[in-house]
Structure 1
Amino acid sequence: MTYTRKLTPLALIASSALILSACAGDEGGTEGGSEEGFEYGTSQEELNSVLADLEPLEITYQAGAQSQNSISAANDLAFKEYVEERSNGQISVDIVWGQAIAGYPELDDALVDGRVDIAYAVPIYKPNEYPTFDAIGAATSGLPNSPVVGEMVGDAAVIELASSSDELRAEYEAQGVTPLIPMISTGTYLSVCAEPGTAPEDWTGRTVRVGNSAHEQQARSLGGTPTSMAYTEVFEALQRGTVDCTLAQFRPSEEAGLLEVAPYVAYTSEENSLPGRAAGAVLAGAKYQQLPLAYQQIIYDANEVRFVTNNEVAATSNAAGVEQLKGAGGEIGPLDDNADQILGETNEELQAGVEESGHVPSGIADRVAASGERWSEVAEELGYTEAGGFEDLDEWYEPDDYDFAPMAERVFEEVLLEHRPE
């Protein structure tokens, strides 16, 4: 079964619900603003009456996409559309593209000092400030890694794992920011290389660009030499042969054109999938924490729309990536069995290290597996299927065949709703 109905922001709004008056809740206070909020699902007409006495305002939103023409810009444009429509035009969203105000390492400071109000962030780049984020990310091996349904299930699982972590929320609080979505899956990690060959002997001596500590260990286990560099430098490094491979996702790889110079891509088995797919988050700064409760709730409720667009972007980017690498004369297929087994053994070492670190409660590996299984069952229950794999994704994937709204509703109601401001 597939879906054809596409989600629009106001499609999430139920016909009626009770208006409520409440105190500051889990995701931020309302100092200086109205305490009157509304229940999730309140009709637009009822909501408008709550908003009537509130002053219009503008928020600065720093997007994750490099420009409005990027595939991933759908996330940012949908956020703007939802917030502006749901607020009856009283909140205007100024989107800043390409990390123009603050790069990812400086973003927390920009959120705290008010240069940015809401932003897509990459906490995985700051393991010292966010050791729990890094630990959860390192433990996320073994989640489904198929190109459409697997991406969706993985996204649901990492949101659930992060949302239930008091330790991670404490780390965000220590930095002075509010997590709207504490962790987002940015896609399955793959090996992306300039030359073919995925057996251990092919990896020996290769220089491999890595983006996190888990991948550094993975690259070494395969016989490669890991190196860290800014993602904006990877295209030129691959083109010049400074690096031979990168462990990356289709979404940024396709957008940066990496697959034109490194068109040999391999994916792991599901049980040995690479960790670290949870790299991003949506964070709010000081201004959000001072907004009237109803405005906070509108911004928070946009998380449901983001789940939809994030998975539309993931599937579309995967298909575009396959098309790009084929256009460059490359190929995609499974990783060599021996190399896959090596990664599986390294995953076990990583999960044991996470347990020993003390940044997450014991049993993280079991919780990751349980979450992946639970959301796989929900996906099956809702009728999501795939007509092929990565190799022919560009041939069988049709965006109109998938509506991620039913899954988004389940994730919001069963995971995110608990942390809605109230």
Structure 2
Amino acid sequence: MHSTRRTRSGALMAAASLLAVTGCLAERPPDDGIPGGGGPGVPAGASKAEYIDAFEDVAPIHLTTQIPSSPGDLNTLHLVEYAEALHEWSGGTITLDIAWGNAVADPDDAPLALSDGRLDLDMVYPVYEPSRYPANGAALAATGFLGQQDPVAGSLQAAGGYLEVLMDDTEFMTETEEEGYKLLLPWAPASSSGLLCNRPLTGLDDLRGAQVRVGGSAFARQAEALGMTPVSMPYSEIYQGLQRGTLDCVLQSRWAAVSLGLVPLAPNYTVHADTGFARLHYGVGFGLAQWEELPLVAQQLVYDRLDVYIGEMYEQAIWGGMALAAEQEPGTGGEVAELAPDAREALEEINAQLREEARAESGVDAALTEEVEAALDRWRGIVVDELGYAEVAEDEFPDWYEQQGAQVDTDPFVDRLVAEVLDRHRPE
């Protein structure tokens, strides 16, 4: 990204800078270092100078977060840049300390860590607990495959469409508050999922009986429809599962597999541009009690600088990770392939069932599917026709990305997302 909202001087510089500023997770400061909620705010689109002025009389605020990866990993740079943006735009008032390697809580325990104050900000996965979260966990998972599946335009289309619908829906936005945390984003940056396998598996005969790790009930239903055997396990155990041969495949995105070191063990990636597996959606959560303690201007800055989080996530973690996966695959004999026609037909049939079931989920607006499909159509027009992002297939992405100089500017998309969706929901 090249916008004035950021001052990036390179990935390595950013990583080094964050280590100098925050290091490892620090002890949480006394509560009296954080002033109570309320106070004056700033308007949408406020400049850095306006924000710094607004923080002049605000006491230091220390926030904590975590990430699964290690410093310097592609999947950390969005959080590095976000932390730096909060620090700079607050005139040094806000410090976001990062714990590497999920040192505070396992992903399943992140909601509890947010609610009890061990963490202030973290990724949350309601999809892991559909019975607890009928909206964000069950119904959303059952519609998470809608839209196009291509890695650039399709990923941005999904972000725009899902955020537009979900952030307007009180059911989705307040569901987690009973668990002690609020959703800043109900749909964080992601890409399509596919089958990462230890050998080429594209048709039903190939897939039958293969053991596949899944991240939720919708994934499991899709795997079973292909004749596969779904396995539920924490992502921290996936590497050993592939290494020991207890898993044949993992159903997830390629860029996430890079951070987990899975590509050498499962280098064959099977996907289809028009028929999708459920995306492993996740949210960005903030502890509810901690949020309510923040002064309004701090709430606004934490929210407004999500533009940095989103843009860097696509540029560095997702597209950078996909390119890195493509570099690793040939050395292990891997390849990218499309689902065979019989497997695609089976996937389409189960997807149709999931769409119908999403309409019947208790407590969830029956129009969810229709609203998401309409929003996705609109954002496809914005992303492709108006902003000019490429419709490039998964197997073509590495060469295309290299031709772009390993850089895709997300500023036009993020600016549009802020104007049409995020600004309408900012704290006021």
- Report the Cα distance in structure 2 between the residues aligned to 1:124 and 1:48, rounded to whole angstroms: 38
- Report the Cα distance in structure 1 between the residues aligned to 2:352 and 2:305, rounded to whole angstroms: 36
1:302 to 302, 305, 327: 305
Q: Give the CA deviation at 1:409.
A: 1.4
- Report the Cα distance in structure 1 between the residues aligned to 2:7 and 2:378, rounded to whole angstroms: 26
2:224 to 213, 220, 225: 220
Does the 8 Å CA contact 1:181/1:283 hold for their aligned counterparts? no
| Alignment CA distance shift 1:193-1:10 (3 Å) | closer
Q: Give the CA deviation at 1:245.
A: 1.3
Does the 8 Å CA contact 1:137/1:279 hold for their aligned counterparts? no
What do you get for the CA RMSD once the two structures are aligned?
2.1
Does the 8 Å CA contact 1:212/1:276 hold for their aligned counterparts? no
- Corresponding residue number in structure 1 for 2:72: 69
Secondary structure of the 1:53 match is coil
Question: Identical aligned pairs, as a percentage?
Answer: 30
| Alignment CA distance shift 1:34-1:164 (3 Å) | closer
| Alignment CA distance shift 1:176-1:389 (3 Å) | same
Q: Give the CA deviation at 1:129.
A: 2.3
Q: What letter matches 2:301 in structure 1?
A: I
Secondary structure of the 2:213 match is strand
List per-residue Cα deviations over 1:143-182 (Å, max 9, x = no partner). Answer: 1211222112222222223212211222112112121112
- Report the Cα distance in structure 1 between the residues aligned to 2:62 and 2:71, rounded to whole angstroms: 19
1:262 to 262, 266, 269: 266
| Alignment CA distance shift 1:222-1:304 (3 Å) | same
- Report the Cα distance in structure 2 between the residues aligned to 1:401 and 1:60, rounded to whole angstroms: 30
- Report the Cα distance in structure 1 between the residues aligned to 2:208 and 2:384, rounded to whole angstroms: 40
- Report the Cα distance in structure 1 between the residues aligned to 2:339 and 2:249, rounded to whole angstroms: 14
| Alignment CA distance shift 1:239-1:297 (3 Å) | same
Does the 8 Å CA contact 1:138/1:354 hold for their aligned counterparts? yes
Q: What letter matches 2:83 in structure 1?
A: K
Secondary structure of the 1:9 match is coil
- Corresponding residue number in structure 1 for 2:81: 78
Q: What letter matches 2:81 in structure 1?
A: A
| Alignment CA distance shift 1:46-1:229 (3 Å) | closer
- Corresponding residue number in structure 1 for 2:115: 112
Does the 8 Å CA contact 2:273/2:393 hold for their aligned counterparts? no
Q: Which runs of 5+ in 1 are unaligned?
A: 13-29
Does the 8 Å CA contact 2:64/2:98 hold for their aligned counterparts? yes
Deviates more, 1:343-352 or 1:272-281: 272-281
| Alignment CA distance shift 1:138-1:185 (3 Å) | farther
- Corresponding residue number in structure 1 for 2:191: 187
Matched ranges for 1:138-157 at <5 A: 138-157=142-161
Residues 1:420 and 2:426 aligned together: yes
Q: What letter matches 1:182 in structure 2?
A: P
List per-residue Cα deviations over 1:330-355 (Å, max 9, x = no partner). Answer: 11021111101110110010111111
- Report the Cα distance in structure 2 between the residues aligned to 1:304 and 1:55, rounded to whole angstroms: 25
Residues 1:409 and 2:415 aligned together: yes
- Corresponding residue number in structure 1 for 2:135: 132
- Report the Cα distance in structure 2 between the residues aligned to 1:276 and 1:359, rounded to whole angstroms: 22
- Report the Cα distance in structure 1 between the residues aligned to 2:173 and 2:318, rounded to whole angstroms: 26
Does the 8 Å CA contact 1:199/1:335 hold for their aligned counterparts? yes
Q: Give the CA deviation at 1:388.
A: 4.4
Matched ranges for 1:12-411 at <5 A: 32-63=36-67, 65-134=68-137, 135-270=139-274, 272-312=275-315, 313-386=317-390, 388-397=392-401, 398=404, 401-411=407-417
Deviates more, 1:121-130 or 1:215-224: 121-130
- Corresponding residue number in structure 2 for 1:17: none
Does the 8 Å CA contact 1:183/1:282 hold for their aligned counterparts? no
List per-residue Cα deviations over 1:354-384 (Å, max 9, x = no partner). Answer: 1111342123222222121111111124433
Does the 8 Å CA contact 1:59/1:92 hold for their aligned counterparts? yes
| Alignment CA distance shift 1:197-1:179 (3 Å) | closer
Does the 8 Å CA contact 1:118/1:282 hold for their aligned counterparts? yes
Secondary structure of the 2:36 match is coil
| Alignment CA distance shift 1:240-1:88 (3 Å) | same
- Report the Cα distance in structure 1 between the residues aligned to 2:369 and 2:38, rounded to whole angstroms: 43
- Report the Cα distance in structure 2 between the residues aligned to 1:413 and 1:86, rounded to whole angstroms: 20
- Report the Cα distance in structure 2 between the residues aligned to 1:54 and 1:399, rounded to whole angstroms: 42
List per-residue Cα deviations over 1:212-261 (Å, max 9, x = no partner). Answer: 10011111111111111111211221222212111111122111221211
Secondary structure of the 2:41 match is strand
Secondary structure of the 1:93 match is strand
Secondary structure of the 1:92 match is strand
- Report the Cα distance in structure 1 between the residues aligned to 2:6 and 2:407, rounded to whole angstroms: 21
Q: Which runs of 5+ in 2 are unaligned?
A: 9-33
